[in-house]
Structure 1
Amino acid sequence: MPETPPSTPSDAGRADWLLTGGAIETFDPARPPATAIAIRDGRVLAVGETAELEALAGPGTRRTDLGGRAVLPGFCDTHIHFEKVAHEFGYLQLRDARSVADVLDAVAARAARAAPGEWIRCNGDDAGWHEHNLAERRLPHGDELDAAAGGRPVFLYRRPDHGVLGGAAAERLRELLAGFSAEEWDPATGWLRGPAVRVVNDSLYRPGVHEQEHRLRILCEASRRLLAMGVTGVVDPGLPAAFEPSWELYRQAGERGLIAQRVWLMNRLDWRRPFQEEYERVRATVVPPPAAGGLLRPWAVKLLLDGEFTGAWMRPGEEQGEPGAGARYSEEELRAVLSLCAERGRPLCVHAMGAGAIEAVTRAVRAMRERLTPGQVSIAHAFLIDAPLIRECAELDIRISVQPALAYTYAREMRQAWGPLAGRNNPLATMAALGLRFAGGSDTHPCAPLAGASIAVTRRAWDGSSLGGHEALTPREALAMFTREAGHYTGSGALGTLVPGAPADLAIWARSPLDLAPQEWPGLRPDLVAVAGRAVWAPDEHL
């Protein structure tokens, strides 16, 4: 992309940066693709044909000849646990392991280059490894992990219901493990089962487990890895009861230039603590102003209204167990939090998997509709939403963030938990047809918008099974989830489009993903990424 460097400051009203000779995808249905885009003061100044935008160039304008390359809005992932993912990017990848010995060899190789006392962990949320893929059809034992790791703490997480701890790791977590039942924690094998797996996994992200400089370093690495996917914004649903330390981490990272994305951070209630205690904590939280040049913003309060697959709050007649067993909060508690958000003018994001939980949200919003602003309430996941609930959410302007990667990764767990109802998962095409706007997020690996968008088009799970092809989106609709619809979801106006006045968050691609088969999307990488009109990433690091 040949560039002419600026020689003098731009004239008043002229572009700071002019990109010409390309294919500009605006993701605004009212604006067709163009060949040029002009940027000034971090925002889009104009979009149109190269010849007409030449008039916006002054002697100080930076110019880029795109040479036919495509320009798309930067992607925004509306559900990614940024700090958590920063750790996971560096974990062991065991998807190719076919025996316990393979797993132990990987642990030993990591231990050989790990610092003394450094935790050795693996990524388990990508459907990549499972004991059924191992010749022994079992997880390693804790003593085997100790022998391979040379005394370093090892925790191998294999999806949300199984895991294994080495002895050194168990010693560090002795106090936490003391609260588990014999069914949840077996000291002899080191195996963890059920909800205890998530409790241990979450505990290792708490402040103080890792030194601040280590957290900042891996956050910087994660930021650049996401930039390499074209991700210019992330909505972080937060860690349980950890808003303040997460905010401070992101603030420091932003001030030091270690992260380049826009970040919206939620204040998440910890459902394992007494409701009143968490409610008072959120009430007492002093909401900070935007930081790091306006890229870091405090955003919604987050409430996990139900559990996950087996813990979803189903409607009467849909439950596999006791009615309402999946509810983590009562409707009175939901309304108390909603009332607080209405009083303070804060958005509320509700985790709701099952239709019972979604109904509870719509009832609460309808009852308090006069006190709420449009779009103040959103739902994360909404897996088992049906047509009547879709219409109601559209009428009430309840915004939705869907995570196609969750269905891709947890298709088996979903079918085991919901039986025939699983066929109703993520009814994206129906949602679009009925006028409900929804954004895209990841929540799990593969945490890449192009991968999530590809899943929304192909409707295929990791094992090749169908997720319901009749609910597939078109390629443009799928990419819009991570661009235009993400801007709408966060209430950020024209963010996620390339129209005059929109933030100039963009990615330049050798070929537009829209010109390629969706199956090819996950492997694509941009040639350059810019946030607020400033180039922040390129493959060769020379911007």
Structure 2
Amino acid sequence: MRTADCDARNASADLILRGGVVHSLSPGGGGATAIALRDGLVARIGVDREVMALAGASTKVIELAGRAVLPGINDAHLHATWLGAMWPHTLFGEEAGPGPAPQRPLLDAAQRRRAILRAGELAASLGITSYTEPGLGPGEDHGATGAFGTSVAQQYRALAAEGLLRARVTVLWLFGELDGPSNLESFLAGLATTDGATSDPRWLRFAGVKIFADGIPPMRSAYTHHCYADGVSASLLVAGVDDADREENLARMIVAAHRAGHQVGVHATGDRSIDVTLDAIERARTERDIDLGHYIIHGDLVTGPQLRRMAALGVGLDTQPEIAIRTRPLVDAALGPGSAAAAWPLQAALDEGVPLCLTSDAPVLSPDWRRQIAAADEWMGPTADPRRRMGRLLRCYTVEPARQDQAMSWKGTLTPGMAADLCVLESDPLALAPAELPDVEVELTVVDGEIVYEHGVRVAVPETV
């Protein structure tokens, strides 16, 4: 007699995609041509015959006709609310460096809600099923854009409770200004009072905090061990009476967040700010030895020894290779000729085993992940094995961000029991050069087993305001 578990495993699927190539991005997951989804989870993956055994009278079957299925894309650093207000404009535009943002402030709750929903539709059209909103909170309650304050977090809570989010969202709290100063007292007060509870943490999770340690090299505001070419030296953005005091205050922020069980994402671009951050994380881990998935954001001038330290500490790196390409002449102008060649060492990060997420930082850049993968390949230079490189870079937009979200047990790959989050591309990316990827159409996006985007078809969005 069949057991109840066996009956459940063989129950009819809600949706089957067949006749293509399915990349689970899990070990030993090759050779699949079809995938079945049921109750928001992957039910089965394999060849068509195996998967079609789960077809029932109510099962929707989609013919892939050679198209490729990937786990849903996870952009680990995407300012979605700001993106929803600005799109189709970005800070970089077509220029080498960032410019002023269009003045489109979000003035009330309704505008913020619409911006989040608009960003969700854009994300769905790109195959993005998860993203991290890196910095919302009281430090920006009076910010000029209206896209980063506590009220934005409240709108995310409301949309999640109403079931209206189009992607899964991770949020980092921000207790200082965006791209600006913070102080230890406000940070500690924020840690003590912030409520991270949500109706469903698989859809909306407040994971931890973001800290701005410094600025960026082209603006000569990255905190470095050496002066810039014009003799200028930068300081940390964290308040203090001198460099030593600022460094200690940054360390105390990180240790306090770690002690409270919060993940920390530190915007650190200069080699000196990265050293201070890693010292603090090591200090925190000595006090409480638990891996909370801390990570460095951008990491432009990270060095080889620092990458080895990061790998040993389990510290991740969120980076944007398109920025590396665009700002190469600006970095050389700021730090001296040839400096950019040693910056953004993506291949070294992979080789050292650093948890690496490729991200867009939209709306600084376009949220199109295909462009970031192509840019990463260009920055890393020629390879003898483009298929292997493509596979590794795809993991930087799927598997590694799930690790950063502390969600590898339930999303990021396509194996039975994992979240039914996926995207369908018109061509198999592993059969292409990365430079060709931006021209490959996203055909379908599925989140939690539900189709949220289908190329050429308007997917209904509930009326919300």
Asked if 1:250 is matched to 2:156, the reply is yes
Asked if 1:449 is matched to 2:359, the reply is no
Question: Matches of 1:304 and 1:479 in 2, distance apart?
Answer: 28
Find the counterpart in structure 1 of residue 224 from structure 2.
314
Find the counterpart in structure 1 of residue 45 from structure 2.
47
The 5 Å alignment of 1:367-386 reads: 367-370=283-286, 371-386=288-303
| Partner secondary structure for residue 8 of structure 2 | coil
Distance 1:210 1:258, change over 3 A: farther
| Partner secondary structure for residue 385 of structure 1 | coil
Question: Matches of 1:481 and 1:531 in 2, distance apart?
Answer: 19
| Partner secondary structure for residue 26 of structure 1 | coil
The 5 Å alignment of 1:275-290 reads: 275-290=183-198
Amino acid in the other structure paired with 2:150: E
Distance 1:519 1:376, change over 3 A: closer
Larger Cα Rg: Structure 1 or Structure 2?
1
The 5 Å alignment of 1:367-516 reads: 367-370=283-286, 371-419=288-336, 420-443=338-361, 444-459=364-379, 474-494=389-409, 495-516=411-432
* Identity within the alignment, %: 27
Question: Does the CA-based 8 Å contact 2:135-2:209 persist in structure 1?
Answer: no
Find the counterpart in structure 1 of residue 8 from structure 2.
12
Deviation at 1:19, TM superposition (A): 2.2
Question: Does the CA-based 8 Å contact 1:80-1:236 persist in structure 2?
Answer: yes
Question: Does the CA-based 8 Å contact 2:37-2:43 persist in structure 1?
Answer: yes
Question: Matches of 2:62 and 2:98 in 1, distance apart?
Answer: 46
Question: Matches of 2:370 and 2:376 in 1, distance apart?
Answer: 10
Distance 1:90 1:214, change over 3 A: farther
Structure 1 unaligned residues grouped into runs of 5+: 1-10, 92-122, 131-157, 164-200, 460-466
Find the counterpart in structure 2 of residue 233 from structure 1.
130
Question: Does the CA-based 8 Å contact 2:269-2:301 persist in structure 1?
Answer: yes
Question: Does the CA-based 8 Å contact 1:352-1:382 persist in structure 2?
Answer: yes
Question: Matches of 2:292 and 2:70 in 1, distance apart?
Answer: 26
Q: Deviations over 1:232-258 (max 9, x none)?
A: 111111256245212112223344555
Residue 282 (structure 2) aligned to one of 358, 366, 389 = 366
Amino acid in the other structure paired with 2:394: L
Q: Which segment drifts farther, 239-248 or 359-368?
A: 239-248
Question: Matches of 1:373 and 1:437 in 2, distance apart?
Answer: 17
Find the counterpart in structure 2 of residue 149 from structure 1.
none
Question: Matches of 2:53 and 2:126 in 1, distance apart?
Answer: 33
| Partner secondary structure for residue 39 of structure 1 | strand
Amino acid in the other structure paired with 2:323: L
Amino acid in the other structure paired with 1:395: A
Deviation at 1:307, TM superposition (A): 1.1
Residue 348 (structure 1) aligned to one of 257, 261, 264 = 264
Residue 28 (structure 1) aligned to one of 26, 29, 32 = 26
Structure 2 unaligned residues grouped into runs of 5+: 1-6, 141-148, 240-245, 461-465
| Partner secondary structure for residue 171 of structure 2 | strand
The 5 Å alignment of 1:50-61 reads: 50-61=48-59
Question: Does the CA-based 8 Å contact 1:69-1:511 persist in structure 2?
Answer: yes
Asked if 1:523 is matched to 2:439, the reply is yes
Residue 214 (structure 1) aligned to one of 105, 111, 128 = 111
Runs of 4+ in structure 1 deviating by more than 4 angstroms, as ranges, are 201-205, 255-258, 271-274, 316-320, 467-473
Deviation at 1:524, TM superposition (A): 2.9
Amino acid in the other structure paired with 1:39: L
Question: Matches of 1:542 and 1:77 in 2, distance apart?
Answer: 22
Find the counterpart in structure 2 of residue 159 from structure 1.
98
Coordinate RMSD, CA, aligned: 2.9
Deviation at 1:421, TM superposition (A): 2.3
Q: Greater relative contact order: 1 or 2 (C-alpha under 8 angstroms, separation 6 or more)?
A: 2
The 5 Å alignment of 1:111-260 reads: 123-126=90-93, 128-129=94-95, 159-160=98-99, 205=105, 209-239=106-136, 241-242=139-140, 244-256=150-162, 258-260=164-166
Question: Matches of 1:285 and 1:269 in 2, distance apart?
Answer: 11
Question: Does the CA-based 8 Å contact 1:312-1:327 persist in structure 2?
Answer: no
Distance 1:372 1:245, change over 3 A: farther
| Partner secondary structure for residue 350 of structure 1 | strand
